[in-house]
Structure 1
Amino acid sequence: MKEVTANYDESWKEALNEYFESFLIFFFPQVHQLIDWTKTPRSLDKELQEITASSETEKRIADKLYQVWLLDKREVWILIHVEVQSQYEVDFGQRMYIYNYRSFDLYHKPVVSLAVLGDESNKWRPSAYGYSLGGCEVSLKFPIAKLLDYESKWDELEANDNPFAIIVMAHLKTKATTGNLSEREQWKWILIRGLYERGLTKEQIVKLFKIIDTMMTLSQQLQQKLVSKINSFEEERKMPLISPTEQMAIERGKEIGKEIGKEIGKEIGALQKARDNVKTVLQTRLGRVSSDITLSLAQVSDISILDEMLKLAVVVNSLEDFQQGLELATSK
């Protein structure tokens, strides 16, 4: 049986992409108050890849880098690291320091490093890195948010309208139900039902549903059980909105359509290249290719036939003989 693994990284990355300002309000309000929100922050994914590319440690998908402008007009970078590993990491502070100075070195702008610790150890709270040697001293202190601290604030999370209150709840219950998918399914249902009860719009429900659904992974059987609960819930409430399950099915259909389109595009490109190769050989050996041959080649959609025509083009003595061979091959 395939092991079901929770997907924290992609969920947190999606949450940061959708709710960057809400993230700072929830976890780091002092940083939020410094920023001029009339100017739209810029997500710097390409620059982040450059910063983390040579790291010896595993790059986490949830890392994000933003360019913002402060109320005093300064341009600042905000480097966010979401650590969801459950084990103690001795080099975490060093990694935060390395990413910080690489970020500064890229454009020589001040860098604010922030860390969210989603692990399972209450004692592990790295918030600084430094060393001193021969009169030289280097140090970095960075604010942290420890998700375990919110376990004792569950009532406050339920009453909080910030989307990260729900995301933290999902994270904590995903961790707590590792190895117990039946209990995870129950909590996932409670959290998703809570989205409707908060009076959110259709768009808000769908976005948060997607984040919760991605993080709180279930077996296929339990996921189907959950979907049945959601459908029944929506029918009972006679909800006029498109349900998250329907919306996600639509989105998945679009994704599948894009993938199919890419494959079709590749196939069409390969066929056209094969036709061009045949025409190039014929033109080189026998002169100008007639419009009849060009039209006949355009109607061939079997790559194996075009391969045979390429071989024929190399040895045939005239365009008329090639035309006959092409008609014979396509008539089979």
Structure 2
Amino acid sequence: MSATLLVHEDHTRYIPHDQLFKELIHTFFEEFLEAFFPEVHHHIDFTSIKPLSGEVFTDLIDGESRKADIVIEAKLKGEDTLIIIHVEPQSYSQPNFHERMYHYFSLLYNKYRKPILPIAIFSYDEKRNEQNEFTIAFPFFHVLTFNFLLLELRKMNWRNYLESNNPVAAALLSKMGYKENERIKVKIELLRMLTKMELNPAKTRLIHSFFEKYLTLNEREEEELMDEIKQLKEGEQILELPISYEERGIEKGIKKGIERGIKKVAGELLKEGSSIEFVAKVTHLDREEIESIRENL
């Protein structure tokens, strides 16, 4: 007998980079469970994995529709089961989330009539205490207690995953509990992990793109990162990774070239006696920049 494994993602307040969460778990489903739910991973026969079409449910609470974009069928070793993994890559907490999980559970069980193991993943930036239990009870009778597995990324210590060589763990370092002054260090460790995993270029780019969506270094941090990379023994390997460091440098050069060209045009206009207002309209430079160019003529 086969079991059906469902990965469910809530589309409330959908934002574009949610797609990266779905793609990450689709691509590295086995690695995801291995890194964060090893007890589940141990019981699943991954040779039986089969993606299914997404399920659309109407939320009776607020009338919105939500779609289970990641739906995977799999066999349990020796048993059948349905597992719902609810990916919540949002930055806010829902007070009734535990009730929503029960709602999805009920709808899925009603359709498939198989045991279900629900898992919720929270990726918000603050440390919070989410409920992973929904109860229906009366003073005179206890009807049910519904539980689901919970992963709160911000509570995870990113250093615990550096030796795992797990691609999902590498990507999710960007959502774990690092300090602000550890941002560059976290990025360096991601790059080190990528050099060890020897993934194909597409998967490497997926992990790196996911990481950068959630942990983007500013220009100063990028320069510091590059300085540190050059001093690492893995430095050459890191620079050879297919993650567009060379392309990024070219793009920066192009951008600076365009900026120089615009300022040159502004200077020529000022030489011809054009007003600051006219130059600003033509070049879209701000008044302060134009005045500085005029002073330097």
TM-score tier (shorter): 0.5 to 0.7
> Following the alignment from structure 1 to structure 2, what is the Cα–Cα distance between the partners of residues 198 and 129?
42
Match of residue 97 from structure 1: 102
Judge which range, 222-231 or 90-99, deviates more.
222-231
Q: Does 1:115 align with 2:113?
A: no
After TM superposition, the structure 1 stretch with the greater mean CA deviation from structure 2, 87-96 or 222-231, is 222-231
SS in structure 1 of the partner of residue 108 of structure 2: helix
| Cα distance in 1 between the residues matched to 2:68 and 2:222 | 28
Aligned to 1:160: 164
Matches within 5 A, 1:35-50: 35-44=44-53, 46-47=54-55, 50=56
Does 2:62 correspond to 1:56? Answer: yes
SS at match of 2:43: coil
2:20 corresponds to = 11
Equivalent position to 1:129, from 134, 142, 161: 134
Taking structure 1 as reference, are residues 29 and 196 closer, same or farther at Cα in structure 2, changes over 3 Å only?
closer
Q: Which residue of 2 aligns with 1:212?
A: 211
Deviation at 1:40, TM superposition (A): 2.0
Q: Distance in 1 between matches of 2:66 and 2:224?
A: 29
- 1:56-82 Cα shifts (integer Å, max 9, x gaps): 3877889643322112252x3221113
**Alignment partner, residue 144 of structure 1:** 150
**Cα 1:232/1:98, change in 2 over 3 Å:** same
- Structure 2 residue aligned with 1:68: 74
Measured in 2, the distance between the counterparts of 1:58 and 1:230 equals: 48
8 Å Cα contact 2:168-2:207 kept in structure 1: no
Question: Quick one: distance in 1 between partners of 2:200 and 2:119?
Answer: 31
Aligned position for 1:278: none
How many positions carry a matched residue from both structures? Answer: 231
- 1:253 corresponds to: none
Root mean square deviation, CA, Å: 4.1
Give the Cα separation in 2 of the matches to 1:188 and 1:198: 16
**1:231-285 deviation digits (Å, cap 9, x = unpaired):** 989xx72789672228999xxxxxxxxxxxxxxxxxxxxxxxxxxxxxxxxxxxx
Matched residues in 1 for 2:111 and 2:246: separation? Answer: 40
1 CA distance for matches of 2:147 and 2:98? 9
CA distance in 2, matches of 1:60, 1:229: 45
Distance (whole Å) between structure 2 residues aligned to residue 121 and residue 230 of structure 1:
29
Counting only pairs closer than 5 Å after superposition, residues 262-301 of structure 1 correspond to structure 2 as none
CA distance in 2, matches of 1:10, 1:131: 34
Report the 3-state secondary structure (helix = DSSP H, G, I; strand = E; otherwise coil) of the residue aligned with 1:51: strand
Shift of 1:102: 0.7
Structure 2 segments unaligned to the other structure (5+ residues): 1-14, 249-297
- Bigger shift: 90-99 or 184-193? 184-193
Asked whether the 8 Å contact 2:162–2:189 carries over to 1, the reply is: no
Matches within 5 A, 1:188-267: 189-203=187-201, 204-217=203-216, 237=236, 243-245=242-244
Secondary structure at 1:119 match in 2: coil
Aligned twin of 1:266: none
Q: Counterpart amino acid of 2:165?
A: D
User: Is contact 1:188-1:216 (8 Å) kept?
Assistant: no
Q: How does 1:14-29 map to 2 (within 5 A)?
A: 14-29=23-38
Matched position secondary structure for 1:113? strand
Taking structure 1 as the reference length, what is the TM-score of the superposition?
0.55
Q: Which has the larger radius of gyration?
A: 1
Residue range with higher mean Cα deviation, 63-72 or 21-30? 63-72
Question: CA distance change for structure 1 residues 228 and 109 in 2, over 3 Å: closer, same or farther?
Answer: same
Q: Which has the higher strand share?
A: 2
Structure 2 distance, partners of 1:185, 1:105, is 45
3-state DSSP of counterpart to 1:38: strand
Identity of aligned residues (%): 21
Taking structure 2 as the reference length, what is the TM-score of the superposition? 0.61
Distance in 2 between the 1:248 and 1:110 partners? 49
Decide whether the 8 Å contact of 1:195 with 1:205 is kept in 2. no
Residue 45 of structure 2: SS of its match in structure 1? coil
Is the Cα contact below 8 Å between 1:9 and 1:84 reproduced in 2? yes
